Amino acid sequence: MRSISAVLLSLACLVNAHGYVPQIKIGNTYIPGWDVSKDPYANPAPVRVVRRTPNDSGFISNPTSQDITCSIGNSNLPAQPITATVAAGQTVTFLWNTWPLGHYGPMINYMARCSGSCSSFKGNTGTPWFKISQETYANGEWASDKFAKNNHSWTVTIPPKIAAGDYLLRHETIALHGASNPGGAQFYPVCVQLTVTGGGSLNPSGLAFPGAYSATDKGILFNPYQGDAANQAYVAPGGPVTSGLF
């Protein structure tokens, strides 16, 4: 049975625009992201390090669609011609414009080495992706609520041991408030184009987007209201964090 609050949250979901990433921060430097409220309408289209989407801040409900790679419509849009430079071991902070409490779910981060230039790399074929970090549920709180309470920002550390080069960083939250039914999970991925400097010699890969997720994965078809999430031992989709990166 769905609680009243679950129903209200679902309604809020329908009428409110969802969050997006209008700004990122690397070290102490703020860099424009993709502002869904303005950037799709600007002419000429702005050049950004965060991959563009149409005028859509909604969610993806089919984890095997082309949209799962880098957000809605991204596979049909030209990639951006620039990257942001970050040293291996340094952090990238995603400064979302908003995020609601109660969109229970994990925060997950992946990377993929751009084959050739990131400006011509879609990331939607082969298995270039690897998981670099994730948080699920800890200390009585979903990672998504920790994110919402932290001024809807999330900081990702670039693994110190990956090889220097150009990469996509795929940052994602999955909202599980409606995920007890198949197709009810909501995916919110966003990709940023990075040039990683320094680093080590590792060149991990192994995951595909689309491909890494299916609608019936335990971490995707999941009822977050069925008792304490800790007792359900929630396991995020996409497998474990790649070992040896840090």
Contact residues toward Cu ion (CB under 5 A) are 13
Minimal CB distance to Cu ion: which residue?
13
Q: Which is nearer to Cu ion, 13 or 118 (CB)?
A: 13
Shortest Å, Cβ 189 to Cu ion: 15
Shortest Å, Cβ 201 to Cu ion: 41
What gap in Å lies between CA 6 and CA 103, rounded to an integer? 10
Q: Which is nearer to Cu ion, 5 or 120 (CB)?
A: 5
Shortest Å, Cβ 13 to Cu ion: 3
What strands lie across the sheet with 91-95, from one edge to the other?
29-32, 23-26, 91-95, 153-157
Structural contact between residues 79 and 47, judged by C-beta atoms closer than 8 angstroms: no
Q: Which is nearer to Cu ion, 82 or 101 (CB)?
A: 101
Q: Which is nearer to Cu ion, 13 or 185 (CB)?
A: 13
Q: Which is nearer to Cu ion, 13 or 108 (CB)?
A: 13
Structural contact between residues 143 and 167, judged by C-beta atoms closer than 8 angstroms: no
What gap in Å lies between CA 19 and CA 31, rounded to an integer? 18
Shortest Å, Cβ 175 to Cu ion: 6
What gap in Å lies between CA 185 and CA 170, rounded to an integer? 18
Q: Residue 9 has which token pair?
A: 């949250």
Shortest Å, Cβ 176 to Cu ion: 11
Phi and psi based region of residue 236 (left: phi greater than 0; alpha: psi -120 to 50; beta: remaining): beta
